[in-house]
């Protein structure tokens, strides 16, 4: 069995979500016989060796150093041996290719997508561009850069109001867990929503709201898609609070879809996984446009929420894959991908 460096926390607004995910992953890997080394990253970017007996996990403990030249992990001057990294990090500075690049430089096996795919999927605008250009349907959107907004916000508001139908959702282009997102029902509230989204990113996406259902599909290497799940919410839309701080929403798996609808959305999820050159795992999110009876791509998440009741493991459980089997599979896939990349010629 492997010695798994479980990396969690991070500097993003999804810090608490990552800590919750790490507890479930730690328990699953330990239950499968792996040795887990939990290391938390606090909001200032400092690394700490964490006592796994303390619940919930917190990014505090003995300071850790990770040597970039060769990937050596040290605590108090002593080397801590590990075989593979499971970075349960969500959002910027963790899910966006930054940490993945660190492990690539150190020639260290790690779970999940590589640098390019991780960076690409964090940018909602670029992801939607590629998916749309490949002929897969997605909801209408507009991307706004801060420099353009600063020059002429009135013109941009007017253009968005003309191009898109309300309600719209205003989002930071590279954030997750609904952080910085606003639902806007009329042009008068658009400027304030865009300004708020710019607090979290230098590019903002405005998407046309879709009247329909939120359908998700979990995908592993292959690509191999799970049975789809559906987000059932009582709130007006899927806010951060609805996701993590209340019991008014849940992921139901499998989703109540016809056999043909299930086949269609699974095929679309696998097509997106292939198109974006994803590896390891991803959760591909869709809207089901009830008026036009079609699925629309929403976004791809390369390190989705990973608690035992999160959508990704629940969809695989509905597909016959236990949580422990899923975590072990991802560790084994990380070794296989690292071995494959190691065979590539460098000159």
Looking at the structure, tell me whether residues 193 and 240 fall in a common domain: no
The residue from 208, 228, 245 where one domain ends is 208
- Euclidean distance between CA atoms 134 and 325, whole angstroms: 33
Encode pLDDT of 210-258 as tens digits. 999 999 999 999 999 999 999 998 655 444 444 445 456 789 999 999 9
The residue from 111, 128, 159 where one domain ends is 111
Please report whether residue 346 resides in a domain. Answer: no
Q: Is pLDDT at 150 greater than 50 in this prediction?
A: yes
Please report whether residue 326 resides in a domain. Answer: no
Encode pLDDT of 158-192 as tens digits. 999 999 999 999 999 987 656 789 999 999 999 99
This model's pTM is above 0.85: yes
Looking at the structure, tell me whether residues 161 and 190 fall in a common domain: yes
Give all strands (DSSP E) within the chain, no chain letters: 3-9, 35-41, 47-49, 62-67, 72-75, 78-80, 84-88, 141-145, 168-172, 182-184, 203-208, 212-220, 224-225, 229-233, 249-252, 281-289, 294-301
Q: Is pLDDT at 149 greater than 80 in this prediction?
A: yes
Q: Is pLDDT at 23 greater than 80 in this prediction?
A: yes
The residue from 66, 93, 111 where one domain ends is 111
Looking at the structure, tell me whether residues 102 and 157 fall in a common domain: no
- Euclidean distance between CA atoms 182 and 239, whole angstroms: 9
Encode pLDDT of 275-295 as tens digits. 999 999 999 999 999 999 999
Please report whether residue 73 resides in a domain. Answer: yes
Q: What is the mean pLDDT of the chain?
A: 92
pLDDT at 69: 86
Please report whether residue 315 resides in a domain. Answer: no
Looking at the structure, tell me whether residues 50 and 94 fall in a common domain: yes
Residue 31 belongs to what domain range?
3-111
pLDDT at 161: 95
Task: Work out the percent of the chain whose per-residue pLDDT is above 90.
Answer: 84
Looking at the structure, tell me whether residues 228 and 175 fall in a common domain: no
CATH number of the domain bearing residue 255: 3.30.470.20
pLDDT at 81: 96
Q: What's the domain count of the chain?
A: 3
Please report whether residue 250 resides in a domain. Answer: yes
Looking at the structure, tell me whether residues 105 and 165 fall in a common domain: no
Looking at the structure, tell me whether residues 186 and 266 fall in a common domain: no
Please report whether residue 181 resides in a domain. Answer: yes
pLDDT at 244: 46
């Amino acid at each position: 069995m492997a010695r798994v460096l479980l990396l969690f926390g991070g500097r993003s607004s999804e810090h608490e979500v990552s800590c919750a995910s790490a507890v479930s992953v730690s328990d699953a890997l330990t239950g499968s016989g792996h040795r887990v080394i939990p290391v938390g990253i606090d909001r200032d970017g400092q690394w700490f060796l964490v006592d796994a007996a303390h619940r919930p996990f917190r990014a505090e403990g003995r300071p850790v150093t990770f040597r970039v030249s060769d990937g050596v992990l040290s605590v108090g001057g002593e080397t801590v041996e590990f075989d593979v990294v499971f970075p349960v990090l969500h959002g910027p500075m963790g899910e966006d290719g930054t940490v993945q690049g660190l492990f690539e430089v150190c020639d260290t096996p790690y779970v999940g997508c590589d640098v390019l795919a991780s960076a690409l999927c964090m940018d909602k605008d670029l992801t939607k561009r590629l998916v749309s250009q490949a002929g897969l349907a997605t909801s209408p959107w507009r991307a706004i850069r801060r420099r353009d907004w600063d020059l002429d916000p009135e013109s941009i508001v007017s253009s968005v109001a003309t191009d898109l139908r309300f309600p719209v959702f205003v989002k930071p282009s590279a954030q997750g867990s609904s952080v910085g997102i606003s639902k806007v029902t009329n042009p008068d509230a658009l400027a304030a929503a865009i300004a708020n989204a710019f607090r979290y990113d230098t590019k903002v996406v405005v998407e046309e709201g879709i009247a329909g259902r939120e359908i998700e599909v979990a995908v592993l290497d292959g690509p191999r898609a799970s049975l789809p799940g559906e987000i059932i919410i009582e709130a007006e839309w899927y806010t951060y609070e609805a996701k993590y701080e209340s019991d008014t929403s849940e992921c139901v798996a499998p989703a109540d879809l016809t056999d043909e609808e299930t086949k269609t959305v699974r095929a679309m999820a696998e097509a997106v996984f292939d198109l974006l050159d994803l590896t390891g795992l991803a959760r591909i999110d869709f809207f089901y446009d009830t008026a036009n009876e079609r699925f629309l791509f929403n976004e791809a998440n390369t390190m989705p929420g990973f608690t035992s009741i999160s959508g990704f493991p629940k969809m695989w459980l509905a597909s016959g894959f236990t949580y422990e089997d899923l975590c072990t599979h991802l560790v084994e896939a990380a070794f296989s991908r690292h071995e494959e990349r190691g065979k590539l010629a460098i000159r």
